[in-house]
């Protein structure tokens, strides 16, 4: 039963991640990370298949191997998350809900700091440039 739940969740996250590749408002990398985790827990065959896909190699492989991310990948993540959080921030601010706005702002700042200073920036040809 547990494997089936991981399999279903992995497939859902894979679908949302694929939509996020073409729709810039959805973050791709977090959904692919959840897909990777769920497939590893549910099926070795699906896990092996997913790590062999171009989507994984393009968006996650260097990050999972702790090498870093390309500038383009980092920018796509930061822009999509900023747009989503900005929309939520704006909607809450319009209704006068200030405490969640502050929390969301702090989470956004932590997100930006992590991606700018915590994740190494690499060139697309796998030579590393340390931007920390």
Whole-Å CA distances, 116 to 21, 58, 74, 113: 22, 19, 8, 5
Q: Cα–Cα distance between 36 and 32 in angstroms, integer?
A: 6
Q: Cα–Cα distance between 82 and 25 in angstroms, integer?
A: 9
User: Is the separation of the CB atoms in 115 and 70 below 8 Å?
Assistant: no
Which percentage of the chain shows pLDDT scores above 70?
A: 89
pLDDT tens digit string along 54-106?
Answer: 878 876 777 777 777 888 878 887 887 888 888 889 999 999 989 988 988 89
pLDDT at 27: 73
């Amino acid at each position: 039963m547990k494997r089936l739940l991981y399999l279903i969740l992995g497939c859902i996250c894979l679908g949302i991640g694929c939509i996020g590749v073409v729709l810039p408002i959805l973050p791709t990398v977090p959904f692919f990370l959840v897909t990777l985790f769920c497939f590893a827990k549910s099926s070795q065959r699906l896990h092996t298949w997913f790590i062999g896909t171009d989507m994984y190699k393009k968006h996650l492989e260097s990050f999972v191997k702790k090498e870093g991310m390309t500038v383009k990948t980092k920018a796509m993540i930061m822009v999509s998350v900023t747009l989503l959080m900005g929309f939520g921030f704006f909607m809450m601010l319009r209704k006068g809900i200030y405490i969640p706005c502050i929390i969301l702002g702090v989470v956004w700042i932590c997100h930006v700091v992590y991606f700018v200073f915590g994740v190494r920036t690499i060139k697309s040809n796998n030579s590393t440039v340390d931007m920390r």
